[in-house]
Structure 1
Amino acid sequence: MVGRTRNTKSKRATLADVAKLAGVSAITVSRVLNHPDKVSDDLCHRVREAIDTLGYIPNQSASSLASARSQVIGVAIPSLSNVVFNDVLRGIYDVAGAGGYKVLLVDTHYSPIEEENMIRTLLSQSPEAMIVTGGDQTRACQRMLSSAAIPVVQMMEILEEPLDMNIGFSHFQAGFEVAQKLMACGYQRIGFIGARMDTRVQQRMAGFKEALQTQDLYHSELFTTTPSPSSIALGGELLRGLLSTSGGKLDAVFCCNDDLALGALFESQRMHLSVPKDLALCGFNDFETSAFVNPSLSSVHVPRYEMGVQAAQMILNVLKGVPNKEKQVDIGFEIRMRQSTRMASA
């Protein structure tokens, strides 16, 4: 047909092509790609300029086979849409990138089976290390991680028996201490709102419940949970339901995350309930928004960026033969009491 030409593929540029265009050896190109700190700035510039000109894509598989190093760190998190993991990932990327490593990221959708499948896929890419979330992997997944014979960091929570290295905090203790704070403020009819209900949320709820039980203040009808993903809208819905089942006899509510707490706050305002006079609220994760709503929201702050930084640094230390001072790090948490609870005026 007139005006149509045959679509042909251009030949893929090779490492030798880059070397020829840059006027250097293939070994120099390889060093620029894998160990740029060992090559002069001038040579790096020439090689990278040639790479850009040719659109060269390194053959990572061939490089890995030749050097037995992939320079890849696999990372598995439960959700790419959950902003809680943004800061953690930023810390991992910052440290890994500065150390000359690439991050291969997968989303496990809060499913142990999906996590097993995704980690099997990651391990097939020969990563030099793995960072995974929590400790509720399937037994098959744990066996895979152990038999891979690479450094592994489990993050986001403190584990009794980590596979290798571990960094996080006690969600149980965080929930326990939130209940103590609310009771110290004088609240007695204290409820809990939870969504998604993954293992870490369950630990927060368990600690919260145990603290209330120590003062005989636990009432099962004041606890409401759902397996549905959390959202601001869901927070309002759950609060309205909780107020209905409790007959309105509710002093304070601990929400398992700030999404739900913000929804509960907005719903309280729609219902003309004064926070904290009529109802105190506390969230978890301490999103930036929580400090700027009116009234400002009490929440549990976790140093998520620092957790990501330390998780990646623990990995790099092992890969570089530098011993870690500790194989398990409790990064801690801080309960930030603001205007949504009476503690702010104490």
Structure 2
Amino acid sequence: MGRVKRDAEGAVPPVPTMADVARAAQVSVMTVSRVLRGAMYVDEGTGEKVKAAAAKLGYVPNRLAGSLSSRSTAIVAAIVPTIANSLFADTVQGLSDELGRRGIQLMLGCSAYDPELENSLISTTVSWRPAGIVAVPVRENRAELALLPARGVPVIEVWDIDSKPVDACVGYSNFQAAYAMTRHLHEQGYRRIAFVRSSRTGDIRTANRSRGYATAVEEFELAPGLHFEIDYPLATSGGVIAMRWLLERKLGLDAVFFSNDIVAIGALYECRRRRIAVPRNLAIAGFGDFDEASVCVPALTTVRVPRYEIGRRAAEMLVARLDGKSTRSRRVDLGFELVRRESA
């Protein structure tokens, strides 16, 4: 633990204030405030003088106190289901990079795919008066988020554009992506195609992928009744569990479309362990195009989504809203790409 600094007589010196910085730099308190907020049109020499005085005095701006008058902080909150894999971590990085360039800090919360925890995070986050919120919502019913725009807190939902946004959204169509993958498997000659998702999530994005898959099954007259929700974690071990569950039931499948790459890669491991040739005896496809998807054996056929760009564009949209600029669309579609590899 660090020691508290004391003066020569052993007393703790007072915490320096903005007024102290102003006196040291021989400028007004307003000038100090503008320099430390990063405001434009401040003389460069004056700015350097203020920063030097603040550093010498050890002055740290009280952002929260400043927000009491401005009604918001220079903080944007992001709420995501998890950062345990690169899916949402890349989006958070894109957000952080773009906001950081503009002097805005990012506050992060993870909902663990739990709607109640998500609502709690939203309530707690709003108490910190963020400038805006970027969210990967869990459920279709987003009542807590829907209240925020009317309170002056812009909300950018990311990773899905199929559902109507409460304010604005950036992402791609999970419905169309799953439809495109199922159509691809059909075009490769597969007819008994299972769609597998974890029963532990139940989020909007996976639900829309399920709808896309079901639409393709009906349109191309594929074998029905092969949509499964299985209890497994979103990890490679989950893919092992799911593949064992499917094989034990002897369903006569010729392809399996997993809603997540990490799980699909675990399924590939289980197929290799059982000496099931992929794709000759069973095709496997995933979703997300994780780094491991291109290097596993066989390389995984999947859906690539612009994870980093989703975060970056969400930050751009949010900053534009904060600057009072109108955005052309409340729904930004960044698209997806079908990546055809060896596994299907």
Q: What range describes the TM-score normalised by the shorter chain of this pair?
A: 0.7 to 0.9
> Aligned-pair distance for 1:116?
1.5
The equivalent position to 1:70 in structure 2, one of 70, 73, 78, is 73
Assess, with a 3 A threshold, how the Cα gap between structure 1 residues 191 and 256 changes in structure 2: closer, same or farther. Answer: same
Asked if residue 271 in structure 1 is aligned to residue 283 in structure 2, the reply is no
1:257 to 243, 260, 281: 260
How far did 1:314 drift?
A: 1.1
Among 165, 170, 174, which residue is 2:168 paired with? 165
- Written as runs of structure 1 = structure 2, the 5 A alignment for 1:167-316 is 167-195=170-198, 196-220=201-225, 222-246=226-250, 249-316=252-319
The residue identity in structure 2 corresponding to 1:210 is T
**2:323 is aligned with what amino acid?**
K
Q: Is the 2:83–2:110 contact (alpha carbons within 8 Å) kept by the matching residues of 1?
A: yes
User: What is the aligned-residue RMSD (CA, Å)?
Assistant: 2.5
- CA deviation map 1:97-127 (0-9, x unaligned): 2223222222222122222221111212222
Deviation at 1:143? 4.6
Structure 1 residues 56, 229: CA separation in 2 closer, same or farther (over 3 Å shift)? farther
**SS class of match (2:284):** strand
* SS, match of residue 92 in structure 1: helix
Q: Are the counterparts in 2 of residues 93 and 103 from structure 1 also a CA contact under 8 Å?
A: yes
Q: Indicate if the aligned counterparts of 1:115 and 1:137 stay in contact, CA closer than 8 A.
A: no
Distance in 2, matches of 1:138 and 1:148, equals: 19
Q: Secondary structure at the match of 1:217?
A: coil
**Secondary structure at the residue paired with 1:167?**
strand
How much does 1:274 deviate?
1.6
Q: In the TM superposition, what is the alpha-carbon distance from 1:46 to its structure 2 partner?
A: 4.2
3-state secondary structure, aligned to 2:281: coil
Matches within 5 A, 1:7-156: 11-22=14-25, 24-134=27-137, 136=139, 138=141, 140-156=143-159
* C-alpha separation in 1, matches of 2:303 and 2:202: 17
State the TM-score, normalized to the length of structure 1: 0.87
**Aligned partners of 2:333, 2:317: CA distance in 1, in Å?**
13
Task: Specify whether residues 227 and 9 from structure 1 end up closer, same or farther in structure 2 by C-alpha distance, changes over 3 A only.
Answer: farther
Instruction: Identify the match of residue 332 of structure 1 among 335, 338, 341.
Output: 335
Tell me if the contact between 1:282 and 1:297 (Cα under 8 Å) persists in the aligned partners: yes
Letter in 2 for 1:233: S
Residues 76, 105 of structure 2: 8 Å contact kept:
yes
TM-score by length of 2: 0.88
> How far 1:255 sits from its partner (Å)?
0.8
CA 102–264 in structure 1, closer or farther in 2 if over 3 Å, else same = same
Q: Report the 3-state secondary structure (helix = DSSP H, G, I; strand = E; otherwise coil) of the residue aligned with 1:290.
A: helix
Percent identity, aligned pairs only, is: 35
SS at match of 1:205: helix
Find the aligned partners of 2:66 and 2:102 in 1 and give their Cα distance.
Answer: 18
Q: How far apart are the structure 2 equivalents of 1:143 and 1:173?
A: 25
Secondary structure class of the residue paired with 2:148? helix
**Quick check: 1:113–1:138 contact (8 Å CA) kept in 2?**
no
1:27-46 Cα shifts (integer Å, max 9, x gaps): 33312221254334444444
Does the residue aligned with 1:38 lie in a helix, a strand or coil? coil
1:202 aligned partner, one-letter code: A
Which sits farther off after the overlay, 105-114 or 67-76?
67-76
CA separation in 2, counterparts of 1:265 and 1:142? Answer: 39
Q: Distance in 2 between matches of 1:166 and 1:237?
A: 34
- 2:322 is aligned to 319
Moved more, 20-29 or 6-15: 6-15
| Structure 2 CA distance for partners of 1:182 and 1:199, relative to 1, 3 Å | same
CA distance in 2, matches of 1:17, 1:226: 63
- Cα deviation for residue 227 of structure 1 reads 4.7
CA contact (8 A) 1:112 1:138 kept: no
Shift in alpha-carbon separation, 1:226–1:44, aligned structure 2, 3 A:
farther
Alignment: residue pair count: 334
Partners of 2:236 and 2:265 lie apart in 1 by 6
Which has the larger displacement, 96-105 or 271-280?
96-105
Instruction: State the Cα deviation string for residues 262-294 of structure 1 (Å, max 9, x = none).
Output: 101111111112221121111100011111222
Structure 1 unpaired stretches of 5+: 1-5, 342-346
Residue 128 of structure 1, CA deviation: 2.2
Q: Give a deviation string over 1:210-240, Cα, whole Å, max 9, x none.
A: 21232332342x4432354311011012112
Q: 1:189 to 1:316 in 2, by over 3 A?
A: same
